[in-house]
Each structure stands twice: as C-alpha cells, then as structure tokens.
A and B are shown apart, each in its own frame.
Chain A
Amino acid sequence: MDTTLITGARPLGGEAADLLLRDGAIAEVGPAGSLSAPEGARVVRASGLIALPGLVDLHTHLREPGREDAETVETGTRAAALGGFTAVHAMANTAPVADTAGVVEQVWRLGQQAGWCDVRPVGAVTIGLAGERLAELGAMADSAAGVRVFSDDGKCVFDAVLLRRALEYVKAFDGVVAQHAQEPRLTEGAQMNESALSGVLGLRGWPAVAEEAIIARDVLLAGHVGSRLHVCHVSTAGSVEIVRWAKARGVDVTAEVTPHHLLLTDELVRGYDPVYKVNPPLRSNDDVRALREGVADGTIDIVATDHAPHPVEDKDCEWSAAAMGMTGLETALSVVLAALVEPGHLDWAGVARVMSQTPARIGRVTGQGGALAVGEAAHVVLIDPAARWTVDPAAMATKGRNSPFAGRELPGRVVATFYGGHPTVLDGALATPRALPASDREGASWSK
C-alpha cells in the first residue's frame, strides 16, 4: 500500500502539522517537523497549504448511463478528484433512470473501477422520475451500492401523498429524500428568474414562490411524519427563511446551495448567453446575500455542486433551445472561497463542515467526512490558499465546457487529493486512480 508523509500542512487552517497516511488510513498526526518518513514513503511538502478532509458532493450529474457524450463516470470522477472530492453522489436522472438496484449497482461499479473517488449513486424516488409510483427504494438501499439518498432531481416529487410515502418509507433504512423543489405549473416553460429583468428580456419567469411553496409544504410534511428531508439547491431568500423556520420548529431538514448561486446573479442573463442558463435559475443580489448568510448561520447545511455537464451543441445555441446546467466540480472549492471565506462567512473548519463532513453525514457515507485524526480513513485534500487561477473550461477534466466561471480569476487551488491514502491528484494535476481493492476485483470483472 501507499505510504505518504504530508509535512507542514495546516489541518482545517490550524497549526501546521505532519500527517502520515498508511494503508488507507491516517496513521500518525504530529506537530510540524515531528514525524519522519518511513522508508519508501512519498513525502509531500505542504508548508503553507491547508489540509481538509476529502470533499463530498451530494449532488453530481455523471450522466452515465445514457449521456456518455456529456460525461462519463470516468471523466466526471477525474474532475471530482481535481476539485478535491473523494466522494460524489451520482444523480439518478440518467437513461435508463437509476430507479432499480441494477442501474445503481452498475453506476457504483463504474465508480469503483474508475478509482478516482467514491461514487455513491442516488436512487430515483419514483419509477422513471415520472412522479407516479415509488421505485424499489428498498432494493436500491440493499444493493451493493447501498443507496441512502433518493431524489427525482431535475423533477419535483410534486404529488404530496407520494412524497409523504417516500419520506416515511426510507426511514426503514435510514435513507433521505432529496427534493428538487419546483412547483411544476408555476414554472412551465420557465427560462430565468422571474423579475423585472425577465420582463424586459422577454424570457418566461421562474418565480421564487415556485421553489418556496414546495419547500414550505415539504418541511411541514417531514415534520408531520417525523422524517428526514433534504432540500436540493436552495436558491432564494424566501427558501432560506422557510428552512430556518422549519429548523427552529425541530423539523429534521437539511439544505444545500450550489456554488453558482452563491456567486452569480440573474444580471448575467442580459446577454442571452446560455452558459448562464440553469435550474433553479440564477437569482438576485438579495438572494445571493441571503444564501451566504444562510450558510454562515447554519440554516443551509452544505454546498453541493449540481455539476451538470452538457455537450457543446446543447449550449452553443439560442437561449430557449439550450440545456439547463453548469459544470462545478473543478471550481466549487474556489467559488466557496470567493463567496464565503474571503467575505468572512466561513473559516476553514466551516469549509470542511459544509463541503465534507455534513454532506457525508446526510448521505450516510461511511469513512468519508471524518476528522483529520489518527484512525480515520485517509481522504485528504491539500489546498494552496494563496494561489489564484483563471478558469479555462477547455483545460478541465470534465467533458462539459459549460462553466459559468470561464475567464474569471478565482482564489485557491487544489494541490493534492488523497483518496484512501492514494494520491489521485499531485501538484495540481491528475495522478493515478486508486487500484480496485482485491476483494472487489472478481465482482468488477464479472460486471463486464
């Protein structure tokens, strides 16, 4: 097994320390300069770098199976590693939909074989995301993929009875429903945030109330049946208020925000460039402010990327014909630094909380999102906080070129990512994937 000595890194931004990674775990931690490298160990000099537990994304579109032209598990997890992630949750809106044990196991195995990070498939709540009948949630939970997060993301589970049943049913295996909150009738044909600007641009509006009304209903339902609820990509000030209110009432609700909703506003739509077309849409400055404050005070629990790669032809067209979505894995950490750390909303421990520890806890991802302490799995990311870089979508590992941050200078760079002690990223570049654990090799070849 790999052995790596990281010297002089600052865990969670604290005092500089040495960390010895051995046999996939953190074997020793000591003050900077206190540990010596065992024979044959790799030494990574990390003076000035921040060490965080490997990042965990609760909301990633890997597109496989079905849209391998947009992304594959291989390319998406390479992007994840470069972004500092050691686990991603692959959303269910693939073709076929991840609504059976067979599909989630396939995605899980593709992740194992790729070896860049853990791939945790999300199971669909309803068959085919059609919002009519429950998918076999228990079978997906019991499968090798061990699904714990269920979502029809891209579509809202609109039927209140169906949602109630799903919320109740997943309690049996400690699952959680992650709701894409979008009232479908209020958002038919919607193209951008409904605002004075949508009226001027002549683009059909996606009103904030369409998100807030669903979240309000859902937190009441979750409270009523005593279930966990997770709200995907909260995008409005009103949604933050409702979640804050629900938490104060004791509802077991968690909420996520995307990096792009923390930094960008609907003003960008003015030029009709579809790279800014996303669902939920970019909102106003007031919304951005409320989202940042929501993360700062803990109302919003996590940042999740909603990484949504699209082929060039789906964005290189007129606005209404373009696909919705933005890539995010390789920019998420830097955007969080720009939107939350630099303005003083979060410190490094806070970044670890919202991008690693809490998403791992919500997704019940064992071995991820731990402390940087002896005995924990060696999922570690090293970040150069002083670096600044200019985003170039063409240089990314994701197949998607649809980054809304193209050309922007962002702070902070992922220098190294250790996935189970194995460096997937070194010196800011992809290294090698982790070899499949021996116990899984037979199963993997069988799946081919």
Chain B
Amino acid sequence: MKHLLSAADLTREQAVRLLDVAEQMAATQQREIKKLPALRGRTVVNLFFEDSTRTRLSFETAAKRLSADVITFSAKGSSVSKGESLKDTALTLQAMGADAVVIRHASSGAPHRLAEKGWTSGAVLNAGDGTHEHPTQALLDTFTLRKHLVGGGQLGAAAGADLAGRRVVVVGDVLHSRVARSNVHLLHTLGARVTLVAPPTLLPLGVETWPCEVSYDLDAALGEAPDALMALRVQLERMNAAYFPSAREYSRRYGVTAERMAALTALTPHAQLLHPGPMNRGLEITAEAADGPRSRVVEQVTNGVAVRMAALYLLLAGEEE
C-alpha cells in the first residue's frame, strides 16, 4: 500500500491489518509514555485546504506519537487561489522532503491528483476530499464497532476478525457525505450489512447500485434490530436548498433521539451509536442520545488517533517489517 486514497481500494486483508495494527497502537496509548520511535526522522505534512480542526489535530497527534516531524499547512480554499495552489504547494513541500502528505481538500479527487501527477513522491493520505471519501474516518468507525461488537470492548480481543454478519444503519445526509461513502465501502468489505437511511433528496442518484440497502424510514430500519446506528452530520444550509422543509421536520423523521435509542436497545441491548462529529445537537442527534450510555462519540476521537497512527505507520514503515 503506497497511498491511502479511498476505502473502496482496501481489500479485506488490508483493512483487517490496519485495524489490528491500530489496536496495537491504541494499547500503547494507555501507557504513561505514549510516544513511539517508529517514524523518527520522517516528515509528515498536513495539507489542509479546508477547515477541519479535529481531523487535523488527530493526524498531528498520530504523527507526533510516532515521533515524526510534523508540518501543518492550513489554507482555506478561498484564500489561496485554486488549482495552481495545490500543485505548487505540493511541489514546495516535496522540495522540503515530505515522506507523507495528509491532505484535506474541498475538491473530490484532489488526493488522487496529488498521488498520480507526481507532484509529491511521498505517501498520500486522504483526510477527506469533497463529497467523495474520508477513509480514516471509516477506519476509526469500523475500529470502534469491531472493538465493541466483536472484542467485547477489549483491545486485541478482536484481532484478525472482520464484521461479518453485523448490521449497521447509517442515517443522514448521504448525498454530501464522504463519511457515508467510505463507510459503505469499508463495512461491506468487512462483511457487515449496511442500510442507508435518508430523505430521498439526500441520497445520490444510483445509490441502489451501492453495496448496501436503502430506506427512507428510520424507525423501520431500527426495527430490524441493527447492531449499530451511525448518524451523519446534516448542514443547516441544506434546508435553504430545499433538501428538507425544516430542521424540526428533519429531526422528527430522521433525528437520533432518546426514544429511538430506547426502541433500538430494547431490540439490541449491545447497540452502538456513532457520529463522526462535529454534531448538530438538536438536529440530527439529541443531547440525550449523544451523551447516552450507547454513545461512542467521544471514544471515536480517541480511536481516530490510533487508526491514523496505524495508517501512517503502515504507509511509511510497513515495508520494513
């Protein structure tokens, strides 16, 4: 594996390996001294053309815990002129000797361009591109699900396992969600059954060709007793573009509420609740649900560091094993 561009590219073996290494990384993060020497002398560049504090901090933390030198370049898409800036920035960083480039970009496919055009010789990690993919988010979501659904919450207990037969409902703005796309691919690769739930306006054309089921009815989907529920962020500006009539109507039909969580846990007491963050409390998820006992939202952040450590490690040092 030279780059991590898309969850769709990962084989089952690669995905399981990533999750296994991530569990090893997570175990080291429970020690008093968290820093590992694995990437000493290597340079990781965080190239963030789009604001994303949490993903940037997560990658930064992951690289630093592996003793890599970290350079962070933040440029909002609007302030740097488009196009040339990606190429020139990449060439500049290449000239400085980047071993890995973590890129977040508003344009779908930007990491692919970076990897294929020769603008950088380093490994390219997609940290979210437009409405296309966000593979490390899907890895941390599957990490969290595997740990709890297969490993009983114990690190290492699920080593080598996938998510065969597990059922996951993903609800929210699928149309604009890179998280949904990556999760559908990765969960499918790992053997899980995915049901996407959204109003028809927030589903892309051709979603019926995706390796998942699709429903417009959240309560019906939860009635099938899934093992996990993942809520996606819904941006309020979608309302102005007539994707749904009002925030209240969206919450009523598709919001994750305490009532819905109670209905779900009545069927599956072990059900996991995930959200990639940042949450719009009161819109796609209520505070009771987000802070409730089935919520893994805070743990997802912790797991994100471990997963990104694993990805950086396998891309930069994996071949030396």
Contact = CB atoms under 8 A, between A and B. Distances in A.
Given A202-B133, A202-B178, A313-B83, A318 B109 contact: yes
B84 A317 contact: yes
Contacts of A273: 113
Interface stretch (B92-100, B202-210, B272-280): B202-210
Contacts of B175: 199
Contact of B112 (A195, A272, A314): A272
Contacts of A204: 131
Contacts of A395: none
A389 to B, nearest CB: 26
A198 B132 CA distance: 9
A225 B169 CA distance: 55
B205 A318 contact: no
Contacts of B116: 271
A386 interface: no
Query: What band does the interface of chain B fall in when counting residues whose beta carbon is under 8 Å from A?
Result: 20 to 34
B106 interface: yes
Contacts of B107: 318-321
A191 B87 CA distance: 20
A321 B175 CA distance: 21
A316 B107 CA distance: 14
B120 to A, nearest CB: 14
Given A195-B206, A320-B130, A271 B82 contact: no
A186 to B, nearest CB: 12
A99 B83 CA distance: 31
Nearest to A274: B113
A313 B86 CA distance: 11
Contacts of A320: 82, 106-108, 130
Interface in B194-232: 204-207, 209-210
B129 to A, nearest CB: 7
Interface string A295-328: 0000000000000000001101111111000000
B113 A272 contact: yes
Interface in A186-209: 191, 194-205, 207
B181 A318 contact: no
Interface residues of A, number: 26
B138 interface: no
A319 B109 contact: yes
B129 A202 contact: yes
A202 B113 contact: no
A318 B133 contact: no
Contact of A319 (B113, B133, B205): B113
**Highest count of chain B CB atoms <10 Å: which of A191, A202, A273:** A202
Interface in B168-188: 175, 178, 181
Nearest to A188: B241
A199 B204 contact: yes
Nearest to A196: B206
B84 A272 contact: no
A64 B175 CA distance: 40
B110 interface: yes
Contact of A201 (B83, B86, B108, B117): B108
5 contacts: A202-B131, A272-B109, A316-B117, A318-B109, A318-B113
Interface of A: 191, 194-205, 207, 271-273, 313-314, 316-322
